[in-house]
Every structure is written in structure tokens, then in C-alpha cells.
């Protein structure tokens, strides 16, 4: 029958299916798949990693099945899951293609949709050689005797093992063809390990039958898995490392072990016992006491590292557990051995040098940025810190990374990145091994495009819109290798580990000249002074001096990476001496790597923070990572404010109440500044936190003074009083160097004399200013009421009615502009809100402000630009009054509010950033203009805050090129040390914003 043309054209041709072999069309006709009913099957075939290999295998299967082909053909048409498993398998692995063709009925195994459990695997492999429980000195041993033990046992075991391996591979690969679940890396590794356990249990059963024949087994033999098998993270094709423990370790035990290795290596995989004591030169089997004696006396560092993975896998499991229980305590004290870190690092370098130079970039296991980089770093960290932390006593690499991050030994981001890269590289390794079931870790050559395309498809990598699958794969391989190498260097080669395990670091025993040279090489501008600090820190014979000697090599290196390591080392000495009586301080630095590194970054970058940390030392504890991320980010501004109010309320004496509020403010400033400097907070978060703590301290002081006054009077306060935030305080956008601009407003209570009430309120306000402005080592708390009516010549406090009368009759345009940022922040809430309602009529008048007022605002702005910039300041880089700086942006926003807030209620807002959002939403300015203004405001605020953090005092002028500018750039989040780049970017951003400002103010 001739098909209609429409049907014929609907069937994809071999080109559309990605089939390249000349025989492809004929093969499809042979399978009777060149028709419209077969379209789903054809498209599934096209998704196979190697569609031509899959098609060739299908034609071979058809021939091998003969009359059985229709059953498979029907199943492939109706069962998507089976189709995905089979096509993915035979398109990924020529070895499994051959396996299926040799036993075509085995395709039915792929109908199973779940992996068998470990017990089922053991039962299946044992059944293949008809094994039965063997009599043994330990009745609970996993010990059997095979009824089939001759040469045919090898082929039976190999076939059953390959069938089980084939099912796993098919389930693992199926998602590349059909919408099937993706098997996680750990599931694959654990199942491969369970299969290896089952395989060697069966191999041991054959060995028992060969050695002991029909007699009871006279010895106890435990098989200990080592390496990847011990860690339950095997590859598809891998040696399985084992160690044998026997009681007694006689000729029978040795023969059993040797036969197990012979059978296992012939039927499954290479069984390698080279990790036993003395290696291949040592006895194959030892007693437990012999193992213990060897490790106590003769074992080298790498042998303890290997024991990290030890796990009883088969045979006498109880004896295996005794082996682990006896040897593992030695593993966790191995890091106390002399030259421990040097030994491990030297071994890592030797392994790297085994890889030919031309293969290092292609080696997934041993090359640069490879699997071994991850595994070595993780194992070393486990050995070093596992002495005191049992949560690190895990065997798998991924589990160990999780435990190290949970314990704070590595950053959570580092652990997550290493895990992701490790699993990606293991996935590629698995796919390469499945291709021919060969033990390989080498990527295809760069010019092998066909091999790379197959690997990309087998690894389920797809084009990303910019690159094809091969390009995406190459990019991912390079990105992950670089990431692993960078993190490996960070975790492995830094002196941290050596400093943890050596009590006499070499850096502290150098001659003075050599020490000075080394310190200079680490970036210390005054190495003689630095050496003096080191001597002071490590002097004497106290335990603290020894701990400092242990810590300092690491701290010095971290300080060497900061903008000002000299100031950082001095600050560290001051902090250490200030916390000399705090036993937790050095312990935290020793045990919490994140705390130590972050503290060094802070001390080597900021003159603002050291005094705060000395006076608020608990902040240092918050440099650690908690379950939800950095502890510095845990407190919320609202909770901090409540804490300040609660603490100050405990005291009747205003001085003590304010002291309590100051103490908590100090802690909060240290927390916020630390998180900001460490890049954990963005600009709005910093401004909000700083403003919230200012408001809370202001509220606490006001309440304390009012409370004390009422107690002194013996009567309730004669008036309500409120504090109105102005400027950046009113906008909740304070920086580190900002004063608190405020207005004080009062309202006499019923029956009270207004004159006396106002006089009382003035006394309260003056006392609040005096208490908060008292000299202190903390950053200042200046309460500035200079924006009040008539300025500093006017009354410090006015009544609500007096404010209303003044603003209605006398308010100047600049005063109206200042009111745009007025917001109730402290004192009587109801009074503050009533004040805001009164001034709303002034700042948001019906019809907007007059044209004359707008002209006056523009005139004042021009005068400010011409006269207010400090003498000698650079107008291009002054963050507050310079071109495109904070004043420019804020004046522009306020002009827009004066002109349009009567119509746009969203502009009834004291926040510059939020008002910019409204201006953009309502299209009062073009979105790109608003974006330029917003970027300039954020950039200038970030730079201004960074200036304070670096210099330790309020400043608005960015420095010229040099070390100070580089420090500001680093603290401001610039990605490198090039201060000139940072400055160029700042001027570019503010210059663009200035163009917008000039257009707006030009009318």
C-alpha cells in the first residue's frame, strides 16, 4: 500500500533524526519504523546520546531476538520509560549494547523501574552460584558456600553482575531520552557499592567452596572495603580496594582471601589489596592484633588517611567492626604526628606528577582542578579537625563536605560549590566509563568533536542559546576545574592546617632579618613593627602565647590579603590584649576558621571597627556561620530596637539607661559594620539598620529622661513630647558618619500652663542632647536640631500650635523642602503623627508648590553648588556635595516631590530610594534617568560608608589614587585592588547622574 504524501512527509527523515550512518534509512525500514505510527519512537531514538549506535544495536537485537522482536517492538511503542532506558543505554554504551545482543532476552530486566535493595542484590548474586549459608566460627557472619564453584561460576557471576549493572545504568541514563527521574549522584554511588558488596559476598562463597569444600570454615575472615568502596561512592568501573582481617591468620584464611580476589577480579572488577600493611610486600591476611601493632608502630601518614574510608563489607562483619573500632581512634590522632601536613601535601603533589603534562587538562581524577583535589582537601580537613569533632567521622566526600560546612570549618558556599563541582566531574567520569565499561578518567581530546558531542548528550547537557551542547560542556568543564582548583588552594595549601597541628610554626623561629623579609613579602609595609607585634603576642610561656603561635601563621597570611595588614596586625594585638581575660576568644579563632578569617579581613580593612570590637567583643562570635548562614545576619533591626528599649527601661537613672542603650548600640554598630565590610549587606540594609538603632537609642534616652523628670516632679509630665526625624534620619537612610537631624515638638496636657510645659520640654530635649552627646570612645551620637524654625536662634522645642503658625506664615522654600523628609521617630506617637498632618499641608500643598518657590529652590541649589563645597575638595569625587553626589540626587528627588506630590500620593515618602521607585512607576522621569540617579545614590552612599569604615571617622571626600583609595574600593565591594578602576567607575556613574540633575533643575 502506498502511503499518502502527507503521512510520508510527517515522518522525520534520518537527517532530522541526527542519524549519520549511510545505512540508517535502510535500518529504519528493516525495523518497520519508517511510518507515521513510529514517530514517537523515532524522536526518542534521536535523543539517544549516539543515535547511530542505538539504531545499529536495535537491528542487531532484532536479528538476535527473531520471533521475540515483536514483543520488544510493541513494548517500545507503548512504554515510554522502557524506551528511555533502552535507547539511552544502547546510545551511551557499546559494552552494554554487546551485552544485550549476547543475551537479547535480558531487555526485560529494563522494565523494572526501581533499584533493588542491598539484600536483594546479595541474594541475586548468591543465587547465581546456588550458594547456601556456610558453617563458621561466627554464626552471624555474611558467609556462604557456593554449590557452583568451578570455572563456570565466573561466567555465571559475570552475567548476573552485568545484568544488575545494566539496570542501574539504564535508570541513570533514562532522563537523557525521556522524562524520567534523574538519579542523584549519591544514589548511584551507593548502589554501585551495594552491588560490589554483593559481588564480593558471592566471590567469597565460591572461595569457601573451593578452599573448605564441604567442611566448616575454620577461620573468621572479615573483608574491609577501602577507598571509594569504603566511602560508598564507587564508580561504574573501578578497582575495589580491600584489606583482610582473620582470626587466626593462617594458611586457610590466606587461601580464602586469595581465592576471593581471583574470583572477584575475573568476574567483576579488579580486587586490590595493596592498601594492607606493608602494601604488596606485606602478608595478605593479618590478625586484628597484628593490624593494631602495625598501625601503632610503623604506619605512615597516608595509611591513616586511607583508613578514613575503612568499612566492613562482607564476611565476618562483627570482626570487621572490631577492626574499625580499634583503628579509627588512631586515625583521628594522626594529625598530631610530626610533619603530618607536609607529608599529606607532598603525597598530593606526587600523585599530580604521575599525570603526563599533556593529559592534565583532560584528567578528571588526577589533573588540575580534579576529583582528587576535592578528595584530598576534604580528607585533610577531616583529619585535622576530626580530632575534636566527631561529626566529621564520615566516609563519603559529599557527606564530609556537608559536615565540614556544618561545623564551620569551611564556608557553606565553598562546600556547596565544591559539592556541585565534585558531582559534575563524577557524572562525566561515570559516562566515560559506561561507554566501553573501561576504567578511564580522561576526557576526549579537544579536537575530538564527535567524542565531546557524545559526552555532552550522555551527560544531559543541552545548548544554552549561545553555545551548542559541546560548547556548553567545554565551558562547564573549565568553570568547574577552575573553581575546584581555587577552592582546593584555599582549603589545602594555606598554612591553616599546618598551624593547627604544629605548636612551633617555622615563621616564628626565623632570624629577625629573615622574619622581616618574610613579613615584607606578605605585604607588611612596616615589617619591623609587625615583628614587634608578633613577639608581644607570642611572648612568655603562657598557654595563650602558645595558642597565638599556633594561630599566627594563618592570620598573617589572611592579613596579608587585606588593604592594610600593618594596621590589621596592630588592631589584632589591641583586640587580643583587650580580650586577654576572655578565654573564649582564642578558642574561637582556633576552632572556627570562618571567625578567624573574617576578623582578619575586618581588622586589616577598617579603623572604625577595632575599638567597637574591643568594647563589644561578643560581636566576634557572630563572625561564625550558623545553620541558616552567617550569624551576623541573624538579628533584625526591629528586634535590636526592642532590646535597646528593654535594656534601658531597667534603670531609673537616665545616665545608666543611656549607658545601657549605648552598649547595645555599640554591639549593633559593630555587627552592621562587620557584615557590611564583609559584603553581607547591601546599601539599603545598612542604612535601615543604622537608622533603626539611632531611633531606638533616641527613644530610650527620651523615655529615660521623661521618666526621671516625672519621678523628680512627683507628678506626671506636664506635656507630651515627640521627636521628628529630619534629613537622612527621617528617610531612614543614615550612614556611619551621619548625625541625627531632629525637631522637638511638645503639646501641653490639659490643665497645664503652656509656658511651664514648654520650659519643661526644652529641659528634656537639652538633657537628651547632653546625655547622648557626652564624650565616648564610641562613634558620636550628635542630636542636631538646627533645622528647627529660625535655626539655632529659635526655641529648641515648640508646641504643635506654634509649629503650625510658623509654617503657615513664615516657612521659607528651603524649610518646606527640609520638611519633605520629616518623619515621627521617637516620643509620643500620636503627637508625632499630628505634627506630620499639620506639615503635610505645607510640604504637599494643593496644586504643588508655586513656580516662584521652584525658582527659589533652583537658586539655592546653584548657590550650594558654588559655595558649600569645602576648600580644596574635588567636586568630581566629593560623595556628598560633588557632581552627581548625594546632595544632587536628593535635591532632584525633593524637587520632583515639591512639584508633583499633590497628585502622586506615593511621593508622600521620606526615603530617596522609595521616592525614585515612585517617580519611575509614574513616569515622571524616564526609566533610564531614574536608573542613573538610583545607581549614583547607591554608589555614593556605599563609597561614603566605606570611607568611614576605612578611616574610622566621618569623611565625604574620596582620596586620590593610592593605598587608601584601594582600601576604600575593597571595602566598597569593588572586585579587585585597583582603586583607580573604582574611582573611574564612581566618576562615570556620578557624571551620568549629574546630566539628569542638570536637566531636571534646568526646568
- Residue 492 is predicted with a pLDDT of 38
**With 60 as the cut, is the pLDDT of residue 502 above it?**
no
- Residue 355 is predicted with a pLDDT of 64
- Residue 344 is predicted with a pLDDT of 64
Q: What is the pLDDT of residues 768-789, one digit of tens each?
A: 999 998 887 777 788 999 899 9
**pLDDT level of residue 581 (50, 70, 90 thresholds):** confident
Q: What is the pLDDT of residues 361-394, one digit of tens each?
A: 777 777 777 888 888 888 877 887 787 789 999 9
- Residue 2 is predicted with a pLDDT of 46
Average pLDDT of 138-153?
A: 91
**With 80 as the cut, is the pLDDT of residue 617 above it?**
yes
Query: CB neighbours (10 Å) of residue 989?
Result: 19
**With 70 as the cut, is the pLDDT of residue 359 above it?**
no
- Residue 542 is predicted with a pLDDT of 65
C-alpha cell at 21: 550512518
Q: Rounded CA gap, 854 and 71, in Å?
A: 87
- Residue 673 is predicted with a pLDDT of 95
**With 60 as the cut, is the pLDDT of residue 552 above it?**
yes
**pLDDT level of residue 201 (50, 70, 90 thresholds):** very high
Q: Rounded CA gap, 500 and 506, in Å?
A: 13
- Residue 252 is predicted with a pLDDT of 96
- Residue 39 is predicted with a pLDDT of 93
Average pLDDT of 881-886?
A: 91
Q: What is the pLDDT of residues 38-91, one digit of tens each?
A: 999 999 999 999 999 999 999 999 999 999 999 999 999 999 999 999 999 999
Distances (CA, A) of 23 to 50, 52, 90, 453, 657: 15, 9, 18, 21, 91
Q: What is the DSSP letter of 243?
A: E
- Residue 343 is predicted with a pLDDT of 66
Q: Out of 560-574, 858-872, 926-940, 947-961, pick the least confident.
A: 858-872
Average pLDDT of 424-447?
A: 90
Q: Rounded CA gap, 163 and 105, in Å?
A: 11
- Residue 354 is predicted with a pLDDT of 66
Distances (CA, A) of 976 to 171, 594, 910, 935, 967: 46, 21, 35, 20, 10
Q: Out of 343-357, 362-376, 571-585, 637-651, pick the least confident.
A: 343-357
Q: Look at residue 619 and give its three-state secondary structure.
A: helix
Distances (CA, A) of 918 to 694, 701, 896, 912: 27, 35, 11, 10
510/443: higher pLDDT? 443
Q: What is the DSSP letter of 490?
A: I
213/266: higher pLDDT? 266
**With 50 as the cut, is the pLDDT of residue 259 above it?**
yes
User: Which residue in this structure is represented by grid cell 542604612?
Assistant: 687
Q: Out of 220-224, 331-335, 392-396, 824-828, pick the least confident.
A: 331-335
Mean of the per-residue pLDDT values for the chain? Answer: 88
**With 90 as the cut, is the pLDDT of residue 473 above it?**
no
How many residues make up the chain in this entry? 1003
Q: Rounded CA gap, 222 and 209, in Å?
A: 17
- Residue 352 is predicted with a pLDDT of 62
Q: Out of 7-16, 190-199, 316-325, 920-929, pick the least confident.
A: 7-16
H or E stretch including 625? strand 625-626
C-alpha cell at 492: 589545602
- Residue 886 is predicted with a pLDDT of 93
**Are the C-beta atoms of residues 686 and 733 closer than 8 Å to each other?**
no
- HEC letters along 537-605: HHCCCCHHHHHHHHHHHHHHHHHHCCCCHHHHHHHHHHHHHHCCCCHHHHHHHHHCHHHHHHHHHHHCC
522/947: higher pLDDT? 947
Q: Rounded CA gap, 48 and 454, in Å?
A: 9
Distances (CA, A) of 432 to 14, 128, 235, 444, 996: 26, 29, 11, 9, 58
**Are the C-beta atoms of residues 395 and 189 closer than 8 Å to each other?**
no
Query: CB neighbours (10 Å) of residue 448?
Result: 12
- Residue 512 is predicted with a pLDDT of 60
Q: What is the pLDDT of residues 523-550, one digit of tens each?
A: 667 878 887 887 788 775 567 777 777 7
Exposure of 510 by Cβ count < 10 A (0-12 exposed, 13-18 middle, 19+ buried)?
middle
**Are the C-beta atoms of residues 217 and 123 closer than 8 Å to each other?**
no
- Residue 693 is predicted with a pLDDT of 94
**With 80 as the cut, is the pLDDT of residue 682 above it?**
yes
Closest alpha carbon to 240 in 205, 291, 283, 197 = 197
**pLDDT level of residue 500 (50, 70, 90 thresholds):** very low
Exposure of 369 by Cβ count < 10 A (0-12 exposed, 13-18 middle, 19+ buried)?
buried
Q: Rounded CA gap, 569 and 534, in Å?
A: 8
**Are the C-beta atoms of residues 52 and 60 closer than 8 Å to each other?**
no
Query: CB neighbours (10 Å) of residue 320?
Result: 26
Query: CB neighbours (10 Å) of residue 962?
Result: 10
- Residue 762 is predicted with a pLDDT of 94
**With 60 as the cut, is the pLDDT of residue 620 above it?**
yes
Average pLDDT of 626-653?
A: 90
Write the DSSP assignment of 791-824 as a string of letters.
GGGS-SEEEHHHHHHHHHHT--HHHHHHHTT-EE
User: Which residue in this structure is represented by grid cell 564453584?
Assistant: 149
Q: Rounded CA gap, 424 and 442, in Å?
A: 14
Q: What is the pLDDT of residues 87-124, one digit of tens each?
A: 999 999 999 999 999 999 999 999 999 999 999 999 99
Residues 6 or more apart whose CB falls under 8 angstroms from that of 67 comprise none
Query: CB neighbours (10 Å) of residue 649?
Result: 15
Q: Is the peptide bond before 248 cis (omega within 30 degrees of 0)?
A: yes
What phi, psi does 879 have (nearest 5°)? -70, -25
User: Which residue in this structure is represented by grid cell 578602576?
Assistant: 981
- Residue 73 is predicted with a pLDDT of 95
Residue burial 83-95, b: 16+ Cβ < 10 Å; e: rest:
bbbbbbbbbbbbb
Q: Look at residue 661 and give its three-state secondary structure.
A: helix
Find the radius of gyration of the CA atoms of the chain: 38
The alpha carbon dihedral of 723, 728, 734, 739 has a sign of: negative
Q: What is the pLDDT of residues 285-306, one digit of tens each?
A: 999 999 999 999 888 888 998 9
Q: What is the pLDDT of residues 799-857, one digit of tens each?
A: 999 999 999 888 888 889 999 999 999 999 999 999 999 999 999 988 888 888 888 88
- Residue 350 is predicted with a pLDDT of 65
Query: CB neighbours (10 Å) of residue 824?
Result: 21
Exposure of 383 by Cβ count < 10 A (0-12 exposed, 13-18 middle, 19+ buried)?
buried
Q: Rounded CA gap, 997 and 327, in Å?
A: 74
C-alpha cell at 749: 496636657
- Report the Cα 938 to chain-centroid distance in Å: 25
- Residue 983 is predicted with a pLDDT of 92
Is pTM beyond 0.75? Reply is no
**pLDDT level of residue 191 (50, 70, 90 thresholds):** very high
- Residue 509 is predicted with a pLDDT of 40
- Residue 321 is predicted with a pLDDT of 96
Amino acid at each position: 500500500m502506498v502511503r499518502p504524501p502527507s503521512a510520508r512527509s510527517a515522518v522525520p527523515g534520518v537527517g532530522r533524526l541526527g542519524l549519520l550512518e549511510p545505512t540508517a534509512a535502510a535500518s529504519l525500514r528493516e525495523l518497520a519504523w519508517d511510518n507515521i505510527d513510529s514517530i514517537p519512537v523515532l524522536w526518542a531514538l534521536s535523543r539517544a546520546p549516539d543515535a547511530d549506535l542505538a539504531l545499529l544495536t536495535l537491528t542487531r537485537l532484532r536479528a538476535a531476538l527473531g520471533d521475540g522482536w515483536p514483543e520488544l517492538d510493541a513494548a517500545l511503542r507503548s512504554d515510554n520509560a522502557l524506551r528511555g532506558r533502552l535507547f539511552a543505554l544502547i546510545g551511551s554504551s557499546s559494552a552494554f549494547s554487546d551485552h544485550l545482543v549476547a543475551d537479547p532476552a535480558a531487555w526485560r530486566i529494563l522494565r523494572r523501574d526501581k533499584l533493588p535493595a542491598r539484600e536483594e542484590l546479595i541474594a541475586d548474586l548468591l543465587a547465581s552460584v546456588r550458594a547456601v549459608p556456610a558453617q563458621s566460627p561466627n554464626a552471624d557472619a555474611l558467609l556462604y558456600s557456593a554449590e557452583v564453584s568451578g570455572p563456570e561460576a565466573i561466567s555465571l557471576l559475570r552475567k548476573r553482575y552485568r545484568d544488575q549493572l545494566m539496570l542501574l545504568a539504564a535508570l541513570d541514563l533514562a532522563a537523557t531520552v525521556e522524562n524520567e527521574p534523574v538519579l542523584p549522584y549519591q544514589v548511584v554511588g551507593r548502589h554501585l557499592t551495594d552491588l560490589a558488596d554483593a559481588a564480593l559476598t558471592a566471590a567469597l562463597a565460591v572461595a569457601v567452596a573451593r578452599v573448605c569444600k564441604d567442611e566448616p570454615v575454620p577461620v573468621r575472615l572479615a573483608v574491609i572495603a577501602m577507598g571509594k568502596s569504603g566511602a560508598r561512592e564507587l564508580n561504574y568501573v573501578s578497582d575495589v580496594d580491600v584489606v583482610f582481617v582473620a582470626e587466626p591468620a593462617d594458611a586457610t584464611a590466606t587461601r580464602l582471601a586469595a581465592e576471593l580476589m581471583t574470583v572477584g577480579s575475573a568476574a567483576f572488577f579488579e580486587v586490590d589489596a595493596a592498601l594492607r600493611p606493608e602494601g604488596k610486600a606485606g602478608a595478605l591476611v593479618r590478625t586484628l592484633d597484628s593490624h593494631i601493632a602495625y598501625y601503632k608502630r610503623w604506619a605512615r601518614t597516608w595509611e591513616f588517611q586511607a583508613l578514613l574510608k575503612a568499612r566492613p563489607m562482607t564476611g565476618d562483619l562483627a570482626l570487621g567492626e572490631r577492626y574499625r573500632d580499634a583503628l579509627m581512634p588512631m586515625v583521628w590522632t594522626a594529625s598530631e604526628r610530626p610533619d603530618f601536613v607536609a607529608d599529606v601535601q607532598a603525597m598530593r603533589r606526587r600523585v599530580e606528577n604521575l599525570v603526563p603534562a599533556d593529559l592534565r587538562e583532560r584528567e578528571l581524577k588526577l589533573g588540575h582542578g580534579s576529583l582528587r583535589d576535592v578528595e584530598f582537601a576534604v580528607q585533610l580537613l577531616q583529619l585535622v579537625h576530626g580530632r575534636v569533632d566527631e561529626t566529621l567521622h564520615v566516609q563519603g566526600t559529599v557527606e564530609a563536605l556537608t559536615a565540614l560546612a556544618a561545623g564551620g570549618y569551611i564556608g557553606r558556599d565553598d562546600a556547596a560549590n565544591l559539592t556541585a563541582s565534585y558531582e559534575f566531574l563524577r557524572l562525566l567520569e561515570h559516562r566515560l566509563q559506561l561507554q566501553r565499561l573501561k576504567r578511564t578518567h580522561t576526557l576526549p581530546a579537544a579536537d575530538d568533536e564527535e567524542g565531546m558531542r557524545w559526552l555532552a548528550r550522555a551527560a544531559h547537557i543541552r545548548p544554552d542559546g549561545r553555545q551548542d551542547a559541546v560548547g556548553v560542556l567545554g565551558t562547564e568543564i573549565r568553570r568547574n576545574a577552575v573553581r575546584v582548583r581555587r577552592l582546593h588552594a584555599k582549603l589545602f595549601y594555606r598554612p591553616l592546617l599546618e598551624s593547627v597541628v604544629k605548636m612551633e610554626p617555622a615563621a616564628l623561629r626565623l632570624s629577625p632579618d629573615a622574619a622581616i623579609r618574610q613579613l615584607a613579602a606578605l605585604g607588611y609595609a612596616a615589617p619591623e613593627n609587625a615583628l614587634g607585634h608578633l613577639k608581644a603576642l607570642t611572648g612568655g610561656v603562657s598557654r595563650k602565647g602558645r595558642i597565638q603561635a599556633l594561630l599566627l601563621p594563618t592570620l598573617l597570611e589572611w592579613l596579608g590579603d587585606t588593604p592594610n595588614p600593618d594596621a590589621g596586625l596592630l588592631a589584632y594585638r589591641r583586640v587580643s590584649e583587650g580580650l586577654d581575660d576572655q578565654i573564649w576568644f582564642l578558642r574561637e579563632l582556633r576552632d572556627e576558621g570562618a571567625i578567624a578569617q573574617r576578623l582578619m579581613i575586618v581588622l586589616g580593612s577598617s579603623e572604625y571597627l577595632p575599638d567597637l570590637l574591643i568594647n563589644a567583643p561578643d560581636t566576634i562570635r557572630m563572625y561564625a556561620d550558623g545553620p541558616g548562614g552567617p550569624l551576623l545576619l541573624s538579628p533584625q533591626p526591629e528586634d535590636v530596637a526592642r532590646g535597646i528599649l528593654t535594656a534601658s527601661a531597667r534603670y531609673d537613672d537616665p545616665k545608666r539607661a543611656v549607658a545601657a542603650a549605648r552598649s547595645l548600640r555599640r554591639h549593633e554598630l559593630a555587627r552592621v559594620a562587620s557584615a557590611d565590610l564583609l559584603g553581607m549587606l547591601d546599601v539599603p540594609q545598612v542604612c535601615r539598620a543604622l537608622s533603626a538603632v539611632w531611633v531606638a537609642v533616641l527613644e530610650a534616652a527620651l523615655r529615660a529622661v521623661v521618666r526621671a523628670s516625672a519621678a523628680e516632679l512627683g507628678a506626671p509630665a506636664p506635656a507630651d513630647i515627640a521627636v521628628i526625624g529630619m534629613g537622612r534620619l527621617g528617610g531612614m537612610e543614615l550612614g556611619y558618619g551621619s548625625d541625627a537631624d531632629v525637631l522637638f515638638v511638645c503639646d501641653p496636657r490639659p490643665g497645664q500652663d503652656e509656658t511651664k510645659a514648654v520650659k519643661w520640654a526644652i529641659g528634656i530635649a537639652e538633657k537628651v542632647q547632653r546625655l547622648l552627646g557626652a564624650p565616648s570612645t564610641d562613634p558620636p551620637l550628635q542630636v542636631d536640631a538646627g533645622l528647627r524654625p529660625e535655626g539655632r536662634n529659635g526655641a529648641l522645642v515648640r508646641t504643635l500650635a506654634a509649629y503650625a503658625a510658623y509654617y503657615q506664615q513664615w516657612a521659607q522654600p528651603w524649610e518646606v523642602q527640609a520638611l519633605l523628609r520629616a518623619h515621627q521617630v521617637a516620643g509620643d506617637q500620636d503627637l508625632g503623627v499630628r505634627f506630620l498632618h499639620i506639615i503635610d499641608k505645607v510640604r504637599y500643598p494643593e496644586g504643588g508648590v508655586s513656580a516662584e518657590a521652584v525658582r527659589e529652590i533652583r537658586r539655592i541649589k546653584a548657590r550650594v553648588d558654588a559655595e558649600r563645597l569645602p576648600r580644596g575638595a574635588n567636586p568630581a569625587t566629593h560623595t556628598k556635595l560633588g557632581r552627581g553626589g548625594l546632595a544632587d540626587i536628593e535635591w532632584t528627588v525633593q524637587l520632583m516631590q515639591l512639584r508633583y506630590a499633590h497628585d502622586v500620593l506615593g511621593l508622600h515618602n521620606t526615603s530617596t530610594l522609595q521616592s525614585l521607585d515612585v517617580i519611575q512607576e509614574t513616569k515622571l522621569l524616564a526609566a533610564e534617568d531614574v536608573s542613573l540617579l538610583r545607581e549614583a545614590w547607591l554608589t555614593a552612599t556605599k563609597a561614603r560608608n566605606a570611607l568611614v569604615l576605612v578611616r574610622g571617622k566621618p569623611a565625604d571626600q574620596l582620596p586620590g589614587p593610592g593605598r587608601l583609595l584601594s582600601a576604600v574600593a575593597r571595602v566598597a565591594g569593588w572586585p579587585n585592588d585597583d582603586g583607580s578602576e573604582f574611582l573611574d567607575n564612581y566618576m562615570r556613574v556620578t557624571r551620568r547622574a549629574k546630566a539628569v540633575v542638570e536637566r531636571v533643575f534646568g526646568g
